[in-house]
Structures are given as structure tokens and as C-alpha cells.
């Protein structure tokens, strides 16, 4: 017996009329009869295949072997899309044809994984046992292809050849990059793993694909004798309606397999382009424009049927349904090149004889499609015009306006607007706006009029066991009055807080005319006193831990060099069970007096251990 393969060009794998995968079934009969003939799963002709012989969901059939003595035969084909056909006089293929068919039948897709462990690579995946391509000795391939169909029967046939070290050639090629390919020689028996097959191989040529690369896999058996060499040639994307094919551009002894794989079905409605520009029916399934220059196109002529013969007049007639001036957006894409042109549909759809006429305004795309190019057409309808407002006034604005400005009424008619002030903080006549934190921006007081003077914090000094607390360098003609506030003061026991003025470069211990009074909260009488050598801000503080004093001093025109320096002072000093209020007024110098340039706080004995001293200026 001589084993051969049943080959049905154009039906293996099974495809529907649009070139998409479908499940097909085959029955083999004695030639021109309905008497079944036995066919087998391998060249050994030992295991018969049950009929009908079904493909997987990707349309891939198992290898169908037959005793060459029983051919020619009749083969009946049917698929889930409803196609049927009968082939008479089919003969078994020769060894060279078998090699091509094997590769064609095995042209199924897998995703490559760079993992190298001996395990199931995952649904629809394939991996090698080594990351160095020349060192690969095993291929681990899942029992299902990327399309989900079972490929175990096909893979199990890889070791059917009766040779020992060369059972056949496996070819992997990227679907998208023809430069990515791998050729491996099957060197032993296929082993059944759990959910996957292990194939012993030897490296022939090619480079390691990148992880997650989608590969087309083909296999050419070595046959019962010396096999022809098989090289993967080109992989071409075919038309969406074409059937996949493989051709040998080499010889019977050195096959070069070139694959044509149909593109997936595109979105939109399919048409074929005609470069003719006359206003007439462009022909079955075709569309044309009224001008060969894209920017000058103002009309399109669509046949009433698309490229697949479907009547689409109802769809085309909806293109003018919107009550807007622009009825919608039309996008036309050339499938082979990706060229795109877009248009606004701006008028009513006109019924020609067997075709529809659209009024267009060109919006994008500067290159005209090629004649007979496959096109995808998509239309997005615009919404209807909204209801008009019910007001009776017609508002009219200026010919131009300032960005971010507020519109103001121009006159009293309520119909005219004019440009107004804009938002911002710089420039004249600006409207203030909140910052990113929802707060008003800082305002320079010098730009405000009719507002009384406000306080400005000039300095903050914190005492920490300081012999003195000095505040200098802030007294000048910028402010007429200064306010000194201090709190958190903890004195040395039985010490009095004092204040001195710096005049002519040194702190003065004479020249003060100060009258003051103090009273305890547990007494009904007030004590009066005067001072000339310093400004006493408290009597002796007899405090225990946890009490603090506070001071307030107001200084008038300290930077003047023509008058005595007036000031007021008050303090509050808590005692263990009561509080003492201290308050006085005075001046420094008499008549013409040099400017005060600093203020010093100190205790009569010990350091100022704590306290925060703040200087404020009153704006003129």
C-alpha cells in the first residue's frame, strides 16, 4: 500500500464566503458514488477516521490519509455557513504535494512565550526549552491553537515519518513581521504531556521571537524517504474576502512556502472605490466622488449595494435625518493603506437610479484612494437642533472682546453688550478672583484709598534664656506708630521686667519720664509711681512654674528727630492666686530728641527664659 493525502484546495482550512473561519465537514466516497471509502489518521493506514471528518473551530482539518490504490475518489464538503460542494476525481497527493499540504494545514496561530520550563505553556501558546535559539532541543506546544481549536491530532503526526533523526520541519513566522522566523527539525517521537505536546527538535535557522509574538506555525513531514527541504518564504496579508493560501515558490526538493493570510473583517460598511468622477451609478458595490482633488470634493455617489452585495439604501437614506445644518460626519478608510478622508454631510440624500447622492464638505485627508481599493465607510449622525429660547430680546456683542473679560450692558435697551473688566491681579481695572485655594489674593495696601491704616507684622523674636531681647532695624519713617506685643514670658523669681530705648547707638539708662500705676486683683487700692532710668513694665514677679506674663507697648513716631518720643505701656502678671495689672504712659527726652532705633526687654536680674515678642507697624 502507498499512503497519500486527500487535498481540497480552497477548502482546507474551511472558510465562509467572507473568508472567516468556520467549521467544515468532509465525506469520502468511491468516485462518483455515495459508497464510503476508508480514510486514516496517519500514513500507516492503521487507524480509520470517522466520517464525516470535522475541522476545528479555526477550520483546520486533521491529515486525511488514504490508500493510493483506492483513488480517485469523490469528496463531499459542507460547513456551518451553509456552503456545500462535491469534488469528483480526487487523487492522493504526491510526496512533494504532501509536504506543501502539511505546512498549509498546519498554518495555525500560536502566541510565543519566552518561558523555558517543561510545562503546559498555556492556551494557544508555544515555548522552547532554551532562551538561546541555537541551543533549543524541545518545543512545548499547547493542545489548542490561538483560535481555540484542538491541534493534537495534527501535532501527533509530526513523528509519522519512518526516518529516525529527521521526521520533518517545523516553521514559525510572525504574522506581522516577515523577518521573524524559526526553522526547527523534528528529531524524535512526540510526547504527550498534560494538556500539551513535547516535540524533540534541532535548530536549523532563524532567531528567537519576542515574548507574546503571534506566530504562524507550519509543518512539512519528511515522508517515507528523504524529505524536501522546506523554507518559509513570505507572509502576506490578503483581502478580507480572500481564502488563505500557501504556495511553493521554490522546487519540489527545496520548497519555499509563501503564505497569504486574509485580514480580519474591518468595521463599517465595505465598498470598492472608483476614480471616475461623473454623476452616475458607480457600479455594484462601488463609491465615487465628483472631484479627483480631495479638498474640492462636494459630492459622493454610493451604489445602493455594498461590496458584499447587501442592500444599504435604508442606511444611506438616514444620512440627512438630522435637523442640523451638518447632518453628520462621514469617515472613509482605505483598508490596504490606512488612508482616511472625512467629510461633513450637509444636504439631503438624493435618490439616483440605483445609487444615492450625498452633499459633502471636505474636512480631512489630502490623498485620493486608488482605483478598486477596498474601503470601509462609517457615518456618525449629528443630533437635532435644540429648541430656540423663549426670550424676546436679541443680544448683540462687540466685534471683538478681551479674553476673561466680563460683559457689560451698553445702554439701556438690554440688547447690546460691550467689553468689560477682566479677571486678574495685575494691571488696572481688574476684577479680583479667588486663587486655587478659594481665597482672595494678597492686596498691596498702597493701592487702596479711603481705608484707615492697618497693622503690618515686622518682626518676631523668641526668647530662650536670653539676657536681653532686642528688636532693632525696623523703626523708620515708614510707620507713624509701632505696637510691641509679648506673651509667654516666664521671669526669674522676684525680678522686674524693664524696657530701654536705643538712641544714638546705645541703650539709654536715663532721660525717661514715665508715670505708671499698678493694682492687684485682690486689692481695692492702686499704687502710683514714676521712673527716669528705665521703663518698668512690672513689679517683682513672684511666680511659680506654669504662669506667664504679657506686655503691650505702643510707640509714637520713634523715627522723628524733632520731638520727644511718646509711648504707653501695660502688662499683666499672674501671681499664684491673683493677677496684677500694670499700666503707664511717658516720653523719652524733652524737646528735640534723636530717633529711637531699637527697643530692649530685660529682667532686673536673671535671663528672659521664654517669651515671644512681636513688632507691628501702623500704616500711615
pLDDT score of 407: 82
CA distance 93 to 221: 13
Residues 7 and 84 in one domain: yes
Q: Which range has highest mean pLDDT (381-395, 466-480, 564-578)?
A: 466-480
pLDDT of residue 96: 36
Mean pLDDT of 114-140: 95
Query: Both 38 and 186 in a single domain?
Result: no
Residues 288, 243 within the same domain: no
Report which of residues 291 and 267 the model is more confident about. Answer: 291
Do 74 and 119 reside in the same domain of the chain? no
Strand order in the sheet with 53-54: 53-54, 24-30, 73-79, 84-90
pLDDT in tens, 237-279: 777 667 788 888 887 667 888 888 877 666 789 999 999 999 9
- Closest Cα to residue 55, out of 14, 107, 108? 14
Sign, Cα dihedral of 165, 169, 170, 172 = positive
pTM: 0.34
Confidence of residue 350 (pLDDT cuts 50, 70, 90): very high
Residue 176 clears pLDDT 70, i.e. is over it = no
Q: Are residues 475 and 597 in the same domain?
A: yes
Strands 254-262 and 229-238: parallel
Residue 591 CB-density burial (10 A; 0-12 exposed, 13-18 middle, 19+ buried): exposed
Stretch (H or E) spanning 3: strand 3-5
pLDDT in tens, 39-77: 998 778 888 999 999 988 777 788 888 888 888 999 999
Secondary element (H or E) of residue 316:
helix 313-316
Select from 205, 220, 219, 224 the least CA-distant residue to 164.
Answer: 224
315-336 average pLDDT score = 93
CA of 61: how far to CAs of 51, 78, 83, 105, in Å? 12, 13, 16, 7
pLDDT at 408: 81
**Would you list the DSSP string of 70-115?**
G-SEEEEEEETTS-EEEEEEE-PPPHHHHHHHHHHHT-EEEEEE--
Q: Which residues pair with 258 in a beta bridge?
A: 247
Q: Which of 31-35, 124-128, 253-257, 452-456 has the lowest mean pLDDT?
A: 452-456
Bigger pLDDT: 44 vs 302:
302
Highest mean pLDDT of the ranges 13-27, 96-110, 168-182, 228-242:
13-27
CATH of the domain at 475: 2.60.120
> Which pLDDT score is estimated for 241?
64
465 shares its domain with 612: yes
pLDDT at position 392 over 70: no
| Assigned C-alpha cell, 205 | 535557522
More confident residue, 450 or 570: 570
pLDDT band, very low/low/confident/very high, at 100 (cuts 50, 70, 90): very low
- Of 286, 175, 161, 184, the closest CA to residue 236 belongs to 175
CB 614 within 8 A of CB 459: yes
Query: Domain end: 381, 405, 428, which one?
Result: 381
Sign of CA dihedral 178, 180, 186, 192: negative
Task: Check residues 445 and 561 and name the one with the higher pLDDT.
Answer: 561
- E-assigned strands of 445-591? 455-462, 469-472, 479-490, 497-503, 506-507, 512-520, 527-531, 535-536, 549-556, 565-574, 579-588
Assigned domain for 274 exists? yes
Q: Above 60 in pLDDT, residue 169?
A: yes
Asked if the model's pLDDT at residue 112 lies above 70, the reply is: yes
Residue 76 lies in a domain: yes
- For the record, the C-alpha cell of 469 comes out as 531681647
pLDDT of 98: 44
Residues 6+ apart with CB under 8 A from 165: 187
Average pLDDT over residues 345-364: 95
Q: pLDDT value at position 439?
A: 72
Instruction: Decide which of 421 and 376 is more confident.
Output: 376
pLDDT over 60 (residue 95)? no
Which residue's entry shows cell 486689692?
523
pLDDT(97) > 60: no
What letters, b where the CB count within 10 A reaches 16 and e where it falls short, cover 520-541?
beeeeeeeeeeeeebbbbbbeb
For the record, the C-alpha cell of 393 comes out as 430680546
What mean pLDDT value characterizes the chain?
85
Residue 420 lies in a domain: no
- Quick one: what percent of the chain has pLDDT higher than 70? 87
Tally of CB atoms within 10 A around 506: 10
Question: 253 or 439: which carries more pLDDT confidence?
Answer: 439
| Number of domains present in the structure of the chain | 4
Predicted local distance difference test score (pLDDT) of residue 94: 47
Same-domain status, 492 and 352: no
> Kindly report the CA angle at 228 between 226 and 234, in degrees rounded to 5?
160
Rounded-to-integer distance, Cα 379 and Cα 268, Å: 8
pLDDT band at 354 (very low <50, low <70, confident <90, very high): very high
Sign of the torsion angle spanned by Cα atoms 172, 173, 174, 180: positive
Q: What is the pLDDT of residue 1?
A: 64
Cell numbers at 30, concatenated: 468511491
Residues 253, 285, single domain; the answer is no
What average pLDDT does the segment 404-416 reach? 81
Residues 397, 400, 403, 406, CA torsion sign: negative
Quote the longest CA-to-CA distance of the chain: 141
514-534 pLDDT per residue, tens: 999 988 888 888 889 999 999
Let me know if residue 389 belongs to a domain: no
Q: Is residue 204 part of a domain?
A: yes
Pinpoint the alpha helices (H) of 106-170: 152-156
- The confidence score (pLDDT) of residue 107 equals 55
Cβ atoms of 115 and 209 closer than 8 Å: no
In angstroms, what CA-CA distances link 521 with 31, 490, 538?
130, 20, 15
Task: Looking at the structure, tell me whether residues 196 and 123 fall in a common domain.
Answer: yes
Domain boundary among 93, 118, 153: 93
Separation of alpha carbons 311 and 307, rounded Å: 10
Domain-terminating residue out of 219, 236, 262: 262
Cell 493525502 found at: 5
Task: Give me the percent of the chain exceeding a pLDDT of 90.
Answer: 46
Is residue 407 a part of any domain in this protein?
no
Cα angle for residues 189, 194, 169 (degrees, 5° grid): 30
What band does 316 get if pLDDT is binned at 50, 70 and 90?
very high
| C-alpha cell of residue 480 | 507713624
Q: Are residues 187 and 242 both part of a single domain?
A: yes
Least confident of 100-109, 178-187, 566-575: 100-109
Note whether residue 319 is domain-resident: yes
pLDDT band at 2 (very low <50, low <70, confident <90, very high): confident
Span 602-610, average pLDDT:
85
C-alpha cell at 182: 524559526
528-543 mean pLDDT: 82
Report whether pLDDT(225) > 60.
no
pLDDT at 440: 66
Statement: residue 227 has pLDDT above 50: no
Q: Does one domain contain both 65 and 207?
A: no
> d(Cα 603, Cα 620) in Å, to the nearest integer?
33
**CATH number assigned to the domain comprising residue 38:** 2.170.14
Within a domain: residue 250?
A: yes
Q: Is the dihedral of CA 340, 341, 342, 345 positive or negative?
A: negative
Q: What is the pLDDT of residue 105?
A: 41
| One domain, residues 106 and 253 | yes
Write down the pLDDT at residue 573: 81
- Residue numbers of the domain that contains 590: 455-619
**At 438, is the pLDDT very low, low, confident or very high (cuts 50, 70, 90)?**
low
Cβ–Cβ < 8 Å for 615, 459: yes
Backbone region of residue 57 per phi and psi (left: phi > 0; alpha: psi in -120 to 50; beta: other values): alpha
For residues 407 and 389, which has the higher predicted lDDT (pLDDT)? Answer: 407
Amino acid at each position: 500500500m502507498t499512503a497519500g493525502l486527500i487535498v481540497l484546495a480552497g477548502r482546507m482550512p474551511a472558510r465562509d464566503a467572507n473568508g472567516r473561519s468556520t467549521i467544515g465537514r468532509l465525506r469520502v466516497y468511491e468516485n462518483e458514488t455515495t459508497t464510503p471509502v476508508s480514510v486514516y489518521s496517519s500514513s500507516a493506514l492503521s487507524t480509520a477516521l470517522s466520517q464525516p471528518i470535522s475541522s476545528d473551530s479555526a477550520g483546520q482539518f486533521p491529515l486525511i490519509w488514504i490508500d493510493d490504490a483506492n483513488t480517485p475518489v469523490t469528496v463531499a464538503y459542507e460547513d456551518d455557513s451553509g456552503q456545500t460542494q462535491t469534488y469528483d476525481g480526487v487523487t492522493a497527493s504526491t510526496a512533494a504535494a504532501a509536504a506543501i499540504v502539511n505546512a498549509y494545514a498546519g498554518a495555525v496561530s500560536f502566541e510565543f512565550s519566552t518561558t523555558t520550563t517543561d510545562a503546559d505553556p498555556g492556551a494557544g501558546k508555544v515555548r522552547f526549552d532554551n532562551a538561546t535559539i541555537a541551543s533549543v532541543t524541545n518545543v512545548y506546544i499547547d493542545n489548542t491553537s490561538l483560535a481555540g481549536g484542538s491541534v493534537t491530532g495534527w501535532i501527533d503526526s509530526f513523528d509519522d515519518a519512518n526516518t529516525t533523526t529527521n521526521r520533518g520541519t517545523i516553521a514559525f513566522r510572525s504574522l506581522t513581521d516577515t523577518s521573524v522566523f524559526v526553522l526547527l527539525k523534528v528529531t524524535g517521537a512526540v510526547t504527550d504531556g498534560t494538556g500539551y505536546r513535547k516535540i524533540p527538535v534541532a535548530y536549523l535557522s532563524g532567531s528567537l521571537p519576542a515574548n507574546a509574538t503571534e506566530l504562524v506555525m507550519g509543518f512539512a513531514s519528511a515522508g517515507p524517504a528523504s524529505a524536501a527541504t522546506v523554507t518559509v518564504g513570505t507572509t502576506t496579508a490578503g483581502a478580507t474576502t480572500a481564502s488563505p493560501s500557501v504556495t511553493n515558490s521554490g522546487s519540489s526538493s527545496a520548497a519555499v512556502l509563501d503564505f497569504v493570510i486574509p485580514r480580519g473583517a474591518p468595521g463599517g460598511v465595505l465598498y470598492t472605490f472608483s476614480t471616475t468622477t461623473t454623476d452616475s451609478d458607480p457600479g455594484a458595490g462601488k463609491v465615487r466622488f465628483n472631484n479627483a482633488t480631495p479638498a474640492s470634493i462636494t459630492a459622493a455617489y454610493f451604489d445602493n449595494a455594498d461590496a458584499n452585495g447587501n442592500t444599504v439604501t435604508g442606511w444611506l437614506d438616514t444620512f440627512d435625518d438630522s435637523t442640523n445644518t451638518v447632518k453628520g460626519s462621514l469617515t472613509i478608510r482605505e483598508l490596504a493603506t490606512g488612508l482616511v478622508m472625512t467629510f461633513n454631510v450637509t444636504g439631503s440624500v438624493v435618490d439616483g437610479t440605483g445609487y444615492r447622492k450625498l452633499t459633502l464638505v471636505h474636512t480631512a485627508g489630502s490623498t485620493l484612494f486608488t482605483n478598486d481599493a477596498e474601503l470601509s465607510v462609517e457615518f456618525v449622525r449629528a443630533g437635532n437642533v435644540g429648541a430656540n429660547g423663549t426670550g424676546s430680546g436679541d443680544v448683540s456683542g462687540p466685534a471683538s472682546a478681551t479674553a476673561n473679560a466680563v460683559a457689560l450692558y451698553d445702554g439701556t435697551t438690554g440688547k447690546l453688550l460691550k467689553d468689560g473688566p477682566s479677571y486678574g491681579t495685575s494691571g488696572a481695572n481688574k476684577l479680583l478672583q479667588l486663587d486655587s485655594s478659594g481665597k482672595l489674593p494678597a492686596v498691596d495696601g498702597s493701592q487702596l484709598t479711603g481705608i484707615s491704616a492697618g497693622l503690618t507684622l515686622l518682626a518676631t523674636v523668641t526668647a530662650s534664656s536670653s539676657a536681653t531681647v532686642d528688636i532693632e532695624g525696623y523703626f523708620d519713617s515708614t510707620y507713624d506708630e509701632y505696637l510691641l506685643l509679648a506673651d509667654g514670658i516666664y521671669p526669674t523669681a522676684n525680678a522686674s521686667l524693664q524696657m530701654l530705648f536705643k538712641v544714638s547707638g546705645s541703650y539709654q539708662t536715663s532721660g525717661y519720664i514715665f508715670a505708671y500705676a499698678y493694682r492687684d486683683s485682690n486689692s481695692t487700692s492702686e499704687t502710683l509711681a514714676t521712673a527716669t532710668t528705665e521703663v518698668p513694665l512690672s513689679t517683682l514677679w513672684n511666680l511659680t512654674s506654669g504662669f506667664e506674663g504679657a506686655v503691650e507697648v505702643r510707640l509714637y513716631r520713634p523715627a522723628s528727630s524733632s520731638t520727644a518720643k511718646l509711648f504707653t505701656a501695660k502688662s499683666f502678671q499672674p501671681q499664684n492666686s491673683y493677677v496684677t495689672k500694670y499700666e503707664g504712659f511717658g516720653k523719652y527726652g524733652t524737646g528735640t530728641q534723636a530717633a529711637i532705633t531699637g527697643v530692649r526687654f530685660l529682667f532686673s536680674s536673671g535671663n528672659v527664659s521664654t517669651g515671644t515678642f512681636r513688632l507691628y507697624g501702623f500704616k500711615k
